[in-house]
Amino acid sequence: MTARIIDGKAFAATLRGRVAEGVAAFREETGRAPGLAVVLVGADPASDVYVRWKGKATLAAGMVGTEHRLLAETTQEALLALVAELNADAAVDGILVQLPLPGHIDSAAVIAAIDPDKDVDGFHVVNAGRLAVGADGYVPCTPLGCALLLEDVLGDLSGLDAVVIGRSNIVGKPMAQLLIDRNCTVTIAHSRTRDLAAVVRRADIVVAAVGRPEMIRGDWLKPGATVIDVGINRVEDAAGRRLVGDVAYDEALAVAGAITPVPGGVGPMTIAVLLRNTLVAAHARAGLAKPAI
């Protein structure tokens, strides 16, 4: 068996196109474009790339994107003051503070300062709570992107056994919640899970978000399983410098039914869903019905 390769890049491009259509309709109706403010503290090279991609994607969708680049030595007070300014700015529908932040800044305090109704990353505890109780709110972009890919591949997920490997607030926990909402039977596995291979082998759906290169081996998988690899790990070995996921891709290809590649799988969905969340925020702030995307 050779698994179907899930083309996240193509799916994300289609989603971005639908968002652009939604933005055009929003502009027509309100006379203004949705606004997204992105804040970057410091000069982490990967974050710098992601922020540039977000800026380009925002403009390509017809939104107004503003970038706020602060020095790595910026104090927490200065960052909180900027967040307060953006909360009060009527032209800003969505606010995103790029993570990770430098070590001297308390990320939780910064996220807590963002207006939950502008929290298009879905990281604020209010939005985490809304997701937990099934209320309308903003869902973190990466797990929502994974759920959209899974529905595209499998259709109805009801009754399927899913394992999420990783329990972060940003990916693992919201991912588990989204799978529960879609009637999956969900196991969250983590560093203390006993016999992870046996847990993974029971699953129809495997979401790997553990941050360890190629940790999930092909022979752990149930034949035909759908594998979503959230990991983006930079490695250097005999094959040179490259990006690998949390799943041993070549091994998994021979066993899985479908799998996301790294790069080109989950990553591009993160930015497409961010644009989608921003369009939803703009509609909510303008008192319009939620767009159907």
Ligand X SMILES: Nc1nc2c(c(=O)[nH]1)N[C@@H](CN(C=O)c1ccc(C(=O)N[C@@H](CCC(=O)O)C(=O)O)cc1)CN2
* Identified binder of ligand X from the candidate list 114, 208, 248, 271, rule CB under 6 A: 271
Taking the least distance from each CB to ligand X, the nearer of 199 and 248 is: 248
Contact between 98 and ligand X by CB under 6 A: the answer reads yes
Q: Which of 93, 98, 115, 229 is catalytic?
A: 98
Is-catalytic flag, 98? yes
Q: Which of the ranges 14-22, 24-32, 96-104, 205-213 carries the binding residues for ligand X, by CB under 6 A?
A: 96-104
The count of residues interacting with ligand X (CB under 6 A) is 18
Residue 277 Cβ vs ligand X, minimum distance, rounded to whole Å: 10
Alpha carbon distance 101, 71 (integer Å): 11
Cβ 101 to ligand X shortest distance, Å: 9
Residue selected from 82, 139, 232, 258 as contacting ligand X according to rule CB under 6 A: 232
Residue 168 marked ligand-binding: yes
Rounded to 5 degrees, φ, ψ at 27 are -65, -40
In this structure, are residues 46 and 84 in contact, taking their beta carbons and an 8 Å threshold?
no
127, 270, 277, 278: which one binds ligand X (CB under 6 A)? 270
- Under the binding rule (CB under 6 A), the answer on residue 207 touching ligand X is no
Decide if 152 is catalytic.
no
Binding residue per annotation — 212?
no
Measured CA to CA, the distance from residue 72 to residue 105 in angstroms comes to 10
Reading the block at residue 190, the tokens are 């983590």
Query: Is position 11 an interface residue for ligand X (rule: CB under 6 A)?
Result: no
- Cα dihedral 171, 173, 174, 178 sign: positive
Choose among 217, 146, 136: nearest CA to 176.
Answer: 146
Please select the residue that binds ligand X; options are 20, 154, 243, 284, rule is CB under 6 A.
Answer: 243
- Residue 60 as a binder of ligand X (CB under 6 A): the answer is no
222 has catalytic annotation: no
Q: How far is the CB of 163 from ligand X (least distance, A)?
A: 21
Which one from 115, 117, 121, 204 is the annotated catalytic residue?
A: 121
Find the residue with minimal CB distance to ligand X. 267
166 known member of a binding site: yes
Residues 6+ apart with CB under 8 A from 193: 165, 199
Q: Is 119 a residue that touches ligand X (CB under 6 A)? A: no
Is residue 137 close enough to count as binding ligand X by CB under 6 A? no
The catalytic residues are: 54, 98, 121
Numbered residues of the known binding site for NADP(+):
166-168, 232
Numbered residues of the known binding site:
166-168, 232
Q: Which residues bind ligand X (CB under 6 A)?
A: 46, 50, 96-99, 121, 141-142, 232, 243, 262-264, 267-268, 270-271
